[in-house]
Structure 1
């Protein structure tokens, strides 16, 4: 497993090393994992000299807003499907799961027409709303809510707490590792999303980092040291968010294993 892990890390290590190389040293053979002549600043300085910072800021704003809204809506839906009793609940959940089998590409045209009618095309708000709910997120969190003892919620109701208060102050904190795990996954999925920004955004000043990398590639695609510097910059938030949240991810996986 260790050797396999190293094999998976090699492309990333080459990308990181190349981002600090002079262009003439990129394809030296055998591969030089440590640059003979370090170029610590110039590659990154050139990458960030254009509109890269604007694309970066757009992605951070869209990803954070989408993650917060998505996690809240999915958690509310999961709580409703697991802890509330109402006619047709199970049938409705089966319908929701069935919709997960529909490829997202099949609904792109209806979504585009709807958002165009709402004047949300070429806006960050439209991009946030299109990703504000996830069936897999609701399904994942529902499994954890089912593990919350109903006696806690019944005690809260006897003390006069409503459903929303029971959700917010009792059920939600009890599955915090699972919520953190899903939030990290949602952050990664949204940050890496290329399809929806490509279709829903037209103005360059609204582009996300993924579209910005494409534009940067059109301009500097044959300069690999600059491309690797841009790629390293693009994945940096993912490394930071995982490093900060890996404890919660491990706890969430362990909690899921115990509940299973």
Structure 2
């Protein structure tokens, strides 16, 4: 009897225990990621006054940007001229990590930011002082208090063909893509509409009024802050991703159950 009890205690752990541990680990990891994403998305305010000067921005530009854009901002073979781009475009490119560019590619990808907020503002202020262009909007434009319904309709009409109706992004031609907007700040949403980075068209005030832009930003911020009402969104990519999920997990589960029943019956 003692031998039988000892053998039972030293038996193998149930496979369900391992699955439960993996599930708990995934839930914890997902919770941490969701919290970090929400914190990043919450940074939507127009930049405040920087402690650095335009001269500091010039030094930073010469050390990190002039190799491609030239000391006089007129561009080189490796980078375009910055005349007319303005501080808004500089803030967009640098605050998303797209610049400085790591390597030539069809599109500049987002990557970890290399500068502090003060340094980014100083570089932007220097470019604005030498080659003026689009500047920061009024705080009201990015406050997220516009008409969400009207903004969602405007987004579907003007933006969804590239960014997906849920702002999940999508593939374009020649290796290019429209990025997802799930963590994009309100200021960078506005900057993209005004400056038209890379494949993005420019939406001036004749295409989209400032109020229209405010509504679109409000709709995107609402989507960032509200979970999918239908449950897990699967990237909001529609029937392709949903069908793939059902094929892999649904049919896969049925096959696994069938194999398990057959093994038990044998």
Q: TM-score, normalised by structure 1?
A: 0.24
Rg (Cα) greater in structure:
2
Whose RCO is larger (CA < 8 A, sep 6+)?
1
Compute the TM-score of the two structures, normalised by the length of structure 2. 0.24
